[in-house]
């Protein structure tokens, strides 16, 4: 959670604005204040806060009316919103059910509770926005953060860069729906294999590129399990004719009919047991190089480990 997150606090009570603002500022947040619903809307669009805390009853526009207005804008569909209310009536919460409100805080709120709720919502939102919409795996910000943590903590670790072979030709012939099924199945295969290391991390870089961060001693067993399971599963993606042939006939980039081997996975393994890894960019560069070498394997899945000192 970024301690510089920007919070919009809207309440018509000066005392509450002052108190809650001081609590959030002391916790490391930047606080923007509004004293009525209309000002809250204007400052939301002007300042683009990371989270909104809105009083239920305010002049000009109520908290719920602010939520309706803000949620009508595409850019604010996922902005976390907390309603601050002295009314603990069940009907109040029922009224807000259709407005996609993330949480409620009852007045007077405890200092620790305010900070804890805000941090939790910001963390959840970051995870939601970061995850790949198809596979639900963490995306690039989380991938970079995990690798940088391993480097900073000076752990012995390995990073598996996984990339599907012949995915474009498969997608072109079978269509995007079939391609999405392949990607979701591949994600499941990688996640299952990575469970050999209870502390492993699996991410989806994008497209048909995935990543595993694990302890060095589990790198080869995980890579082998991914390759074996992928080769066993790959024929199920094809129609009966292609399965009988043992390959797929499809047009290549020149428009010519070509035989394509079944989908397979190429894995490049980067690690820091022979040489130091000092940055995410360095790890990515080595991973891309090794992955390309692994993908040169003509048929079936393969992996290659960096053995350079």
Give the domains, in start order, of the chain with CATH numbers. Answer: 6-130 (3.40.50.2300), 140-305 (3.30.70.270)
**Helices and strands: H and E segment counts in the chain:** 11, 12
Q: Once rounded to an integer, what is the mean pLDDT over residues 32-39?
A: 94
Q: Once rounded to an integer, what is the mean pLDDT over residues 195-209?
A: 93
Residue 237: which residues within 8 A CB-CB, separation 6 or more?
170, 174, 178, 181, 182, 185, 262, 263
Handedness of CA 275, 281, 287, 293 (dihedral sign): negative
Q: What is the pLDDT of residues 263-285, one digit of tens each?
A: 999 999 999 999 999 999 999 99
Q: Residue 210 above 90 pLDDT?
A: yes
pTM given for the model: 0.69
Q: What is the pLDDT of residues 141-159, one digit of tens each?
A: 889 999 999 999 999 999 9
Q: Give the separation between CA 18 and CA 10, rounded to whole angstroms.
A: 11
| Better-predicted residue by pLDDT, 238 or 133 | 238
- pLDDT, position 125: 84
Mean pLDDT computed over every residue of the chain: 89
Q: Give the separation between CA 157 and CA 149, rounded to whole angstroms.
A: 11
Residues of the chain with pLDDT > 90, as a percent, come to 64
- pLDDT, position 120: 92
């Amino acid at each position: 959670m970024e301690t510089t997150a920007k919070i919009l606090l809207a309440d018509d009570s000066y005392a509450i604005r002052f108190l809650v603002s001081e609590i959030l500022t002391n916790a490391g947040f930047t606080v923007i204040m509004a004293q009525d619903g209309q000002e809250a809307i204007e400052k939301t669009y002007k300042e683009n806060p990371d989270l909104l805390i809105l009083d239920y009853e305010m002049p000009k526009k109520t908290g719920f009316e602010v939520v309706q207005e803000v949620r009508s804008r595409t850019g604010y569909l996922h902005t976390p919103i907390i309603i601050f209310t002295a009314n603990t009536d069940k009907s109040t919460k029922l009224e807000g059910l259709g407005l996609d409100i993330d949480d409620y805080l009852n007045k007077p709120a405890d200092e620790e509770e305010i900070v804890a709720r805000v941090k939790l919502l910001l963390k959840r939102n970051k995870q939601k926005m970061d995850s790949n919409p198809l596979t639900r795996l963490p995306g690039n910000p989380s991938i970079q953060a995990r690798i940088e943590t391993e480097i900073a903590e000076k752990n012995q670790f390995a990073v598996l860069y996984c990339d599907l072979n012949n995915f474009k030709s498969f997608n072109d012939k079978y269509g995007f729906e079939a391609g999405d099924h392949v990607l979701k199945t591949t994600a499941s295969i990688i996640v299952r294999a990575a469970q050999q290391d209870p502390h492993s991390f699996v991410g989806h870089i994008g497209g048909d590129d995935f990543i595993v961060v694990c302890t060095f001693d589990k790198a080869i067993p995980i890579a082998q399990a991914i390759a074996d399971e992928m080769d066993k599963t790959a024929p199920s993606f094809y129609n009966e004719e292609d399965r009988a042939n043992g390959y797929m006939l499809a047009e290549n980039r020149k428009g010519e009919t070509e035989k394509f081997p079944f989908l397979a996975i190429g894995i490049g393994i980067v690690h820091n047991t022979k040489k130091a890894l000092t940055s995410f960019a360095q790890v990515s560069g080595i991973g891309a190089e090794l992955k390309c070498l692994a993908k040169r394997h003509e048929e079936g899945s393969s992996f290659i480990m960096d053995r350079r000192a």
